């Protein structure tokens, strides 16, 4: 009786081995991404559980894990089995400071932080005052200077011979504009990510006027306002309901990231977005600005973003197709490639 087993050729054996290796790499990458997201979700759930201890005007916020400010890059470990991007040695400015938008916190950048670190860069994601794990009551934050203080403190403490690349998302664009005006010597480039890139004398809120109406109408009629000092006093903050947030911010984002956001978003202080910025041509005007447009954005429409870059032209404009208002969730790889490309511009 002949041999019951069919012998494979060397080529067939090599092909099977190659397929196995590719499948192994793919599975390890999926496991690593799942592990990274679970760590972020675990952190957010812990914040949510601890926030239940707060009372009064703080009862609506989703909040804090500890009074010690932590750098987001310390919170997530990257599985070294994942195929990492090419290490970029030719970038002179390696420090990226990531500034979140309204309601968000440093937590929202977890994918971007991991990708930048894998490329040999040095990202730091900051919580603005009253955001993320910062313990400040958002209702007590009344000025853009107060709101931006974690960023300006970081820049003040930066060594004289160092510069950073700033990335500001949404309302965070006002914070990096403020930083450009006051600390331009510390900033190599400022990247506005579907952000409020305002002009001199303009309020951050004015950028959203097409969607939300006039500031005066919003202050009187919006059902999303928070009166932290009592109903008879002017509103102190705002926060969209969950269903509105899902439709406005996360129409293309993965469901896991939406779940993370739903337990992590906090009310935004109203004062900073209603403040007119004073921006001079000698300071802000000399800064190197870049804009990244998101083309499936329902919070800040592509038309509004196009208007912003037309009225206040930056050095360069980049576009992400298929991205909602949160490309760090919906298109993290595309966002990463653009950030690296901008960093490499001489």
Active site residues: 170, 297, 325
Residue with tokens 């081995």: 17
Residue with tokens 């970081």: 154
Task: Assess contact for 224 and 239: CB atoms under 8 A.
Answer: yes
Q: Would you call 18 exposed, middle or buried from its count of C-beta atoms within 10 A (0-12, 13-18, 19+)?
A: exposed
E strand intervals along 184-234: 187-193, 225-226
Q: Rounded to whole angstroms, how far apart are CA atoms 176 and 182? A: 10
Three-state secondary structure call for residue 64: coil
Compute φ and ψ for 58, nearest 5 degrees. Answer: -90, -5
The alpha-carbon radius of gyration of the chain (Å, integer) is: 22
Q: Rounded to whole angstroms, how far apart are CA atoms 236 and 239? A: 11
Residue 233: how many other CB atoms lie within 10 Å:
9
Residue 46 tokens, joined: 């812990």
Task: Assess contact for 246 and 116: CB atoms under 8 A.
Answer: no
Of 111, 117, 132, 61, give the one whose Cα is nearest residue 254.
Answer: 111
């Amino acid at each position: 009786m002949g041999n019951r087993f069919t012998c494979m050729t060397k080529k067939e054996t090599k092909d099977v081995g190659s397929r196995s290796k590719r499948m192994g790499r793919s599975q390890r990458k999926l496991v690593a991404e799942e592990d990274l997201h679970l760590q972020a979700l675990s952190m957010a759930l812990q914040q949510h559980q601890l926030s239940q201890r707060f009372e009064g005007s703080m009862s609506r916020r989703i909040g804090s894990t500890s009074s010690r400010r932590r750098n987001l890059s310390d919170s997530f470990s990257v599985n070294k089995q994942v195929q990492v991007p090419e290490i970029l040695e030719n970038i002179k400015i390696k420090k990226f400071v990531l500034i979140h938008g309204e309601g968000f916190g440093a937590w929202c950048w977890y994918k971007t932080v991991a990708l930048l670190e894998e490329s040999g860069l040095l990202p730091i994601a900051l919580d603005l005052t009253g955001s993320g794990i910062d313990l400040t009551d958002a209702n007590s934050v009344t000025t853009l200077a107060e709101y931006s203080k974690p960023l300006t403190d970081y820049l003040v403490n930066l060594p004289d011979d160092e510069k950073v690349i700033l990335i500001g998302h949404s309302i965070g664009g006002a914070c990096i504009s403020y930083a450009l005006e006051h600390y331009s010597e510390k900033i190599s480039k400022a990247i506005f990510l579907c952000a409020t890139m305002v002009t001199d004398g303009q309020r951050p809120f004015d950028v959203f006027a097409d969607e939300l109406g006039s500031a005066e109408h919003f202050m009187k009629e919006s059902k999303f306002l928070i009166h932290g000092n009592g109903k008879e006093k002017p509103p102190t903050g705002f926060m969209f309901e969950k269903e509105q947030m899902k439709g406005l911010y996360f129409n293309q984002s993965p469901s896991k990231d939406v779940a993370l956001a739903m337990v992590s978003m906090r009310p935004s202080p109203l004062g900073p977005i209603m403040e007119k910025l004073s921006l001079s041509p000698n300071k802000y005007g000399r800064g190197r600005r870049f804009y990244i447009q998101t083309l499936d954005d329902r919070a800040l429409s592509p038309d509004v973003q196009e208007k912003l870059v037309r009225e206040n032209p930056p050095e360069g404009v980049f576009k992400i197709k298929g991205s909602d208002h949160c490309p760090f969730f919906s298109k993290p790889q595309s966002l990463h490639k653009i950030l690296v490309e901008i960093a490499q511009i001489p």
